[in-house]
Copies of this chain bind each other. A is one copy, B any other.
């Protein structure tokens, strides 16, 4: 899921990127003994994600900084809510502020957006999942944020599940045979998913016995037809240009999985601020 080691790696890299040889402002203008108390405050409502990431960003440089989370990942909050309280050496808090905010704003932005998509499919059997369209280096964090918003994750990487797309299919002569051979060669724990562009491709895929079939850019009618044909022989995933306007209809076709690239590829950072009082 999201491990301490993954968070540490991102936070350390970000802190170094942001201050390769220190924070010359704080070191010049803020007394070494000054203490800062700071509140992470919501400037707009949303669904929280990244509490642990925020805390680690604040405490990595100096473990005398204390962070108390007021809201759990996945919880909804209102405008004005205090999400976390921070206390520690002012120079450290001021230096870590931007890195901590950049990470938690992005994660909370993703969780908040995901929650809207998830709400839209409520009452159906469909789960909303992310894609590999994540920010390079931040995939583990962004996938956690999707889960915070009530969404689900797709495969983590190219290494842990097969997803045969149109480009792969284009080079295969006998699709059924190729998929059967893949199943034979791969670990028995490997999930095989195949993307099809039109209903005519389904027979060959079903004959091979795959785990999930993705119907890419299908009309609602074709989606319904696909779900019917596939039945319980495979899980059905809908994909391709699905928006908030269309996702409810897609979900009602009976698909089990709806993947939405927009959850992570175009994140709006949620407006969170750090209100600092230094003494």
| Minimum CB–CB distance for A166 against chain B, Å | 9
Question: Given B154, B155, B171, which contacts A30 in the complex, CB threshold below 8 Å?
Answer: B171
In the complex, the answer to whether B157 meets A17 with C-beta atoms within 8 Å is yes
Q: Collect the chain B residues with CB atoms within 8 Å of residue A25's CB.
A: 158, 162-165, 168
Q: Collect the chain B residues with CB atoms within 8 Å of residue A182's CB.
A: 28-29
| Minimum CB–CB distance for A163 against chain B, Å | 6
Compute how far the CA of A159 lies from the CA of B26 in the bound complex, rounded to whole angstroms.
10
In the complex, the answer to whether A23 meets B137 with C-beta atoms within 8 Å is no
Q: Collect the chain B residues with CB atoms within 8 Å of residue A22's CB.
A: 1-3, 158-159
Q: Collect the chain B residues with CB atoms within 8 Å of residue A212's CB.
A: 188-189
Compute how far the CA of A269 lies from the CA of B263 in the bound complex, rounded to whole angstroms.
12
Q: Does A136 contact B (CB under 8 A)?
A: yes
Q: Does A70 contact B (CB under 8 A)?
A: no
Q: Does A99 contact B (CB under 8 A)?
A: yes
Q: Collect the chain B residues with CB atoms within 8 Å of residue A72's CB.
A: none
Total identical chains:
6
Q: Does A69 contact B (CB under 8 A)?
A: no
Interface segment, A4-12, A75-83, A198-206, A218-226? A4-12
Interface residues of A in 143-193 (CB under 8 A from B): 152-165, 167-168, 170-172, 178-179, 181-182, 185-191, 193
In the complex, the answer to whether B137 meets A13 with C-beta atoms within 8 Å is yes
- Interface bits A23-65 vs B (CB < 8 Å: 1, else 0): 1111111110010100000000000000000000000010000
Given contacts A18-B132, A24-B190, A163-B25, contact A34 B154 (CB under 8 A): no
- Interface bits A77-118 vs B (CB < 8 Å: 1, else 0): 000000000000010001100110111011001000000000
- 13 A-B pairs besides A19-B158, A99-B136 with CB distance below 8 A are A2-B21, A10-B137, A24-B161, A25-B158, A29-B164, A30-B171, A94-B168, A102-B135, A153-B187, A156-B159, A156-B160, A160-B160, A189-B193
Interface residues of A (CB under 8 A from B): 1-6, 10, 13-31, 34, 36, 61, 90, 94-95, 98-99, 101-103, 105-106, 109, 127, 129, 132-140, 152-165, 167-168, 170-172, 178-179, 181-182, 185-191, 193, 211-212, 235, 237, 256-257, 265-269, 276-279
